[in-house]
Amino acid sequence: MQFLSLFLCFSLISFQVFAFDFQGRLASIQQLDKADQLAQFEQLLAQPSLSSQQRFQALNALTMHYFRQSELSNALKQGHITYQHTKQHQLAAPQAATEKLLGIIYYYQGDLNNALTYYQQALAYYEQSGNKVQQANVLNNIALAQSAQGHSQAALASYLKAEPLYLKHGSEYDAVDVRANIAGLYISLRRFDQAIAMLESAVTYYQKHGHDNDLARAQADLGVALKYAENFPDALAHLQASLSYYQQKEEGYNVAAALHNIAEVYLLMKLPIKAQAYAEQGVSRSRASDHNKALVGNLQVLAKSWYWRGDALQAQLYLREGLKLANELDYLSSLSSLLILNALIEAALEQPEKAIAAEQAYQALERNRFNTELNTMLAESEALQLQQKLEVVQQQKAYQAELSRNKTVEERYLFAAFTLLFLVMFLAYKKLRDFYLNKELALQVELQTEKLTRVNQQLLQVSLEDGLTGIQNRRSFDADIRKLWQKFTEQHQNFALVFIDIDHFKAFNDMFGHIAGDRVLQEAAQVFSQAMPNGAGVYRYGGEEFAVLIDGLDETICCHEGVRSIYKEIQSCLVGYSAPEQATITVSAGTCFADEQVESLNEFINMADKRLYQAKRAGRDQLVCQ
């Protein structure tokens, strides 16, 4: 017996020492350089003496290693290995923790349906085990995924379930965190003032208590809210602060998102070259970190930047990749804006049928999105009402069961009175809640309708304006010249068409670069607009070629006063342009009047175009009128 007691005592001490050594070794591995950690994890997992709980801890630590390195594909693969281990050995709490982690990884990969599936499995365990703080954490994650899917009502309901759990069972930090996430939901609902106020409060709290990672996340969200509120300087300040932190910590996933948001701000500020620089970095970081949503956003910014700079073919290359990825991943919000951009690019490439098809596809998608969101909100409302009815039925059953257990009439009447009072209060509460739910539903319908109207108006406005120079584009020219021609044929009101081409522009671009070329185009457009008389329309016809429509003027005024004053203004504006060698900018022009014995609009346009080329063949820097 003494020998057996000594053996058991020795075994217990040995187990405790091994457990201590395991925890110490696991901690020491996590302190190593990233490159050395994998080899040490493999050695640790190769030990057959590990218990099932210890093996779970090692597998989970390896999953977190991949996740922190933004290697989401490897993290997902390792997470499923860990998940199978917990199921095989019936480790209930570790299984729920792994389900929660898998949900987070799927969320970062953009697979929101799988994320919600694993979150719900984890939530079921935490509800059964009574772990209130973990319930709140998972509800918070569920709300983030629902918000990303566009299910704002469901997300709000999840947040409202999480907040009281945090307030009662968690810490002040937890409550601030969930409010910061609610602010993200307010951004999606376009309630920017409320979102900014909540996020500024969160930033102050995180700065005061030294929560640097949470501070970077809140600054990134605040930057997005300020971007939508069109406060671009403050938006850039917060986004740059979060980018610096993520770059320092080498968090590729968050770096990709921050680069995308900064690029979008510069695009909204009409600085396409800066936007392009950040978006190009964002594409590289998005690919490296498997951040598909940021990749779509950065590709969209690149497509817009090239379109605004007048290179529709280059814009189309990025657009097609973005459209393909958005379709594969079912990113409906990104897909809508990409389809609008596709319509504009096809129009710029003189493909009207494809442009119309893209616009129709956009409108069909928006209708489907609106109907889906509306049906989802209605389904959520009906599910909530059904749940309320079930709760009432359960209360009635409980009331009947309690009555049957009461022996005296007095006890039955007293219990019935209290139960009836409770039911009345409960139904009143549910009715009030239904009222606010229906009010929110009506608000969502109104917001979606306003959004669709606003986007259509923006599409019409952008489709008639040249992104680089700010003057009217070819589509606007085609519409206006048809109107003037019809007026001429019906009322014999004469008008003139002038084609103007910047001489040797390709050589200028090759010598001084596209940025200098863009500036010349912008200044030329400004000079044309200022030099022309009232009633004249100036258009960018294509590349370095411009068109001018002058209504109601005679030939002498048009040729000698109008166009030649343009030469003088261009030369005076650009004579001081500094380059490696002095650059002189000249233009050639050809004009035609509607009353010059032309029989059709096409012949009229061709006549002006021929005279432009006569001016070029005659040595450039001149105007041909006849």
Per-residue pLDDT at 614 exceeds 90: yes
Condensed to tens digits (0 to 9), the pLDDT of residues 35-91 reads: 777 777 777 888 888 888 888 888 898 898 888 777 888 889 889 999 998 998 888
Per-residue pLDDT at 14 exceeds 50: no
DSSP E strands in 457-610: the ranges are 495-502, 537-542, 545-551, 587-593
pLDDT attached to residue 9: 44
pLDDT attached to residue 132: 82
Q: Do 44 and 18 touch, CB atoms closer than 8 A?
A: no
Angle at 614 between CA 613 and CA 618, to 5 degrees: 115
pLDDT attached to residue 72: 85
pLDDT attached to residue 562: 58
Q: Which residues are catalytic?
A: 544
pLDDT attached to residue 579: 45
Q: Is 513 helix (H, G, I), strand (E, B) or coil?
A: coil
Per-residue pLDDT at 99 exceeds 80: yes
Per-residue pLDDT at 574 exceeds 90: no
The mean of the pLDDT values for the chain is 80
H helix and E strand count, the chain: 25, 5
3-state SS string for 567-594: HHHHHHHHCCCCCCCCCCCCEEEEEEEC
pTM of the predicted model as reported, rounded to 2 decimal places: 0.49
Structure tokens at 82: 């860990």
DSSP E strands in 159-285: the ranges are none
Cα 214 to Cα 88, 97, 176, 221, 373, distances in angstroms: 36, 21, 10, 11, 31
pLDDT attached to residue 19: 45
Condensed to tens digits (0 to 9), the pLDDT of residues 449-477 reads: 777 677 667 666 667 888 889 899 998 99
Q: Is 189 helix (H, G, I), strand (E, B) or coil?
A: coil
Q: Which tops the pLDDT comparison, 28 or 571? A: 28
Spacing of C-alpha 139 from chain mean position: 23
Condensed to tens digits (0 to 9), the pLDDT of residues 321-348 reads: 888 888 887 776 677 778 878 888 887 7
Angle at 539 between CA 561 and CA 315, to 5 degrees: 150
Nearest partner of 67 among 27, 24, 43, 100, judged by Cα:
100
What does the buried/exposed string (b/e) look like for 457-469 if buried means 16 or more CB atoms within 10 Å of the residue's CB? eebeebbbebbbb
